[in-house]
Structure 1
Amino acid sequence: MATMKDIAKLACVSTSTVSHVINQSRYVSEDIAERVNQAALQLNYSPSALARSLKTNRTKTLGMLVTTSSNPFFGEVVKGVERSCYQKGYNLILCNTEGDQQRMKESITTLLQKRVDGMILMCSSLEGENIDVFDRYPDVPVVVMDWGPMLFASDKIQDNSLHGGYLATKHLIECGHQNIGCITGPLNRYQAHMRYEGYKRALNEEGLAFHANWIIESNFECDGGYDAFHRIYQKGPLPSAIFVCNDMMAMGVINAANEKGIAIPKDLSIIGYDDIQISKYMTPSLTTIHQPKHRLGQTAVETLLANLEKNSDEAKVIQLEPTLVKRCSVAIRP
């Protein structure tokens, strides 16, 4: 493998001149720079990323941990992270925790040992864990996405789930619905709890009643929505509308309703949450709350890189606002 010394010998210049040309660290005349570049090309020289990282104390690499899920929401956020890394000239190492606490901690240790410049965590099923390994790497910034309260220092990127749940329920009310159910995610998770709180706030504002038979806690997956609908169905009369706290569960609800001969939205209106790509291609297309998934990923990368430049110790919470997307799964009642 060719070295800078080999290039210097072929180009008849000093090794330091070769370094300045390769790293663009000082002005070198065009003639000399051309000789150096031609020699590098002739020798098939490739700069050592390891050597450069030792010199600059940067690897130009970020690490990201996610939990496996059938929910395309996570894939759409990761796509935003990957695209932003590419645009900023960074590589991304992606690790899957599969919801396992020990695997998450081992993956974090591995990424830190590989000297990543920063880390993004998107493992909300493990919120509230104290990850003490970060104490040994205080110079590595961490950004957490879609997570609740943390026991370690990091910046946080999240959508305003309280407002999103309120928007969803308020839309149902404005469409004439007064009997409104809710299928929540796991209420020990911060974002699920906040969406449910938004639902309750909207009902309270209008003085509408809560019906325990129409409020079901589930798991944010299709099968959870499917099972939750059957539990509501078995308890007696259905509400006229249900706020389903993510699009994946809404898909399960629509499937279960169709099996029972219940037409959406004629007999039952459904509103989801996330606005995953497939939601507009469902039958009927799903009215939902849009999360800016690409911007979540982009903001996480930009926040990490800003921390690398400023070395700020102050943890920030950056909140992105959800919006209502009207489609065909909510009927207007007289």
Structure 2
Amino acid sequence: MGTTTKSARRKSRAITIHEVAALAQVSPMTVSRVINGNANVRESTREQVMRAVQELDYTPNLAARSLAAAQGTRIALIYTNPSGAYLSELLVGALRGAARTAVQLVVDSWDGLNAEAERNAARALARSVAGVLLPPPLCESRAVISELVGAGVPVVALASAHFGDDISHVRIDDFRASKEMTEHLLALGHTRIGYIKGHPNQTASGRRYEGFQAALAEAGIALESGLVQQGHFTYRSGLDAAEKLLARKKPPTAIFASNDDMAAAAVSVAHRHGLEVPRDLSVVGYDDTSAATTVWPELTTIRQPIASMSDSAMDILLRSIRRKEKDVRTVVDHVVTHQLIQRASVAPPAAAGG
């Protein structure tokens, strides 16, 4: 009794490749090429098709020849990232990509390994997998990358500012994103902005700091060294850095932390000092992980679509593996659009003139 909704009908039967093609406004053959990792598809078309695949929750027939081959493909995701929120987003995207392409995803932590141990682990890994996803900070390890590339294993680096000609990258423009966030604070009247740097072992940290510096320079504001503190992308390092910033004789009216974990820590320190965020201190972060919305007030931040980036990286890696089988080697530098997300942690400075 009653009518069946469109979504209910959709769940009651398998979505076809023709429906995906219609939504993406391409031919079914193009959809097939995208799903099978064919190189002869424009990047914009590929993204258009993948959006339709995700919107319709399309699952290709696992008995199809193209994905039957993928079932025997082992792809490794190796991590040492200290942020649990970042890691969670990363895994969501990788698992989504693995499910869509039917590859076997191997997830391993290399926490605590020194450079030589990482090199040995990479050498062993190269013998057992067809491709590797490297998030930060491992995507910055030349030792690991050289071992994998030397063994002929395709690698995709996630969220690394560096682009070389030996591996593919999926990233956002960290310089531009950080500059936009700094300009947002400047437009509200903040001229004393504290900055908490990211871990020095990641090139993205450097690009974010450069974007911050560039925005200040364009606004004619001299960089005060005491308003810049070193962080390491951990909550603890954010606590230490924020304490130093707020203990200054003339503290900042805003703090820009290089990730959400450190920004959340800065909010906690502000509360400890009896400051109200954002009335007395504005705080902004970076990444838009779960940490941005589990703190009060919720953080204004840069949205780096980590899960989508991880999913895209899986797709790029699978295409690289198939090209390798045909003795064709191609690297991709895929720059994903970021977004400045405004929430309740920012307001104009309380004192006139910032």
**TM-score, reference length from structure 1:** 0.77
Post-superposition offset of 1:289? 0.6
2:338 corresponds to: 322
Preserved contact between residue 261 and residue 291 of structure 2 (Cα < 8 Å) = no
Where in structure 2 are the equivalents of 1:23-62 lying within 5 Å?
59-62=72-75
1:276 Cα shift? 0.6
**Counterpart in 1 of 2:259?**
246
Is 1:179 equivalent to 2:173 in the alignment?
no
Superposition pairs of residues 55-94 of structure 1, within 5 angstroms:
59-94=72-107
Summarize deviations over 1:68-106 as a string: whole Å, max 9, x none.
Answer: 424311221121011111111111001111152334333
Contact 1:65 1:104 in 2 (8 A): no
Question: Amino acid of the residue matched to residue 337 of structure 2?
Answer: E
Cα distance in 2, alignment partners of residues 56 and 283 from structure 1: 48
Structure 1 unaligned runs (5+)? 1-51
SS in 1 for 2:156: strand
Alignment of 1:213-292 (within 5 A): 213-292=226-305
The one of 123, 133, 136 equivalent to 1:120 is 133
Matched, 1:205 2:205: no
- Kept after mapping to 2: 8 A contact 1:242/1:271: yes
Q: Deviations over 1:165-218 (max 9, x none)?
A: 111111111222122121111234201111111111111111122211111111
What SS does the aligned partner of 2:223 have? coil
Alpha carbons of structure 1 residues 62 and 164: separation in structure 2 relative to 1, 3 Å? same
SS in 1 for 2:126: helix
1:57 offset after TM fit, Å? 10
Q: What CA deviation, in whole Å up to 9, does each residue of 1:108-163 have, x standing for no partner?
A: 2333222x22111124157242344335522x311111235478821111221111
Deviation per CA, 1:215-274: give whole Å up to 9, x if none: 111111111111011112333111111111110001111111111111111111011001
- Aligned positions, number: 279
TM-score norm. by structure 2 comes to 0.73
Distance 1:280 1:191 in 2: 23
Q: Does 1:106 align with 2:95?
A: no
In structure 2, the residue matched to 1:164 is 177
The offset of 1:277, in angstroms, is 1.7
Gaps of 5+ in 2: 1-64
Aligned equivalents of 2:150, 2:257: Cα separation in 1: 41
SS in 1 for 2:249: coil
Displacement of 1:315:
2.4
- Runs of 4+ that moved beyond 6 A: 55-58
Aligned residues: CA RMSD: 2.4
3-state SS of paired residue (1:315):
coil
Asked if residue 191 in structure 1 is aligned to residue 204 in structure 2, the reply is yes
Question: Does residue 153 of the first structure (1) align with residue 166 of the second (2)?
Answer: yes
Larger Rg: 1
Work out the percentage of aligned pairs sharing the same amino acid.
26
Counterpart secondary structure, 2:133: strand
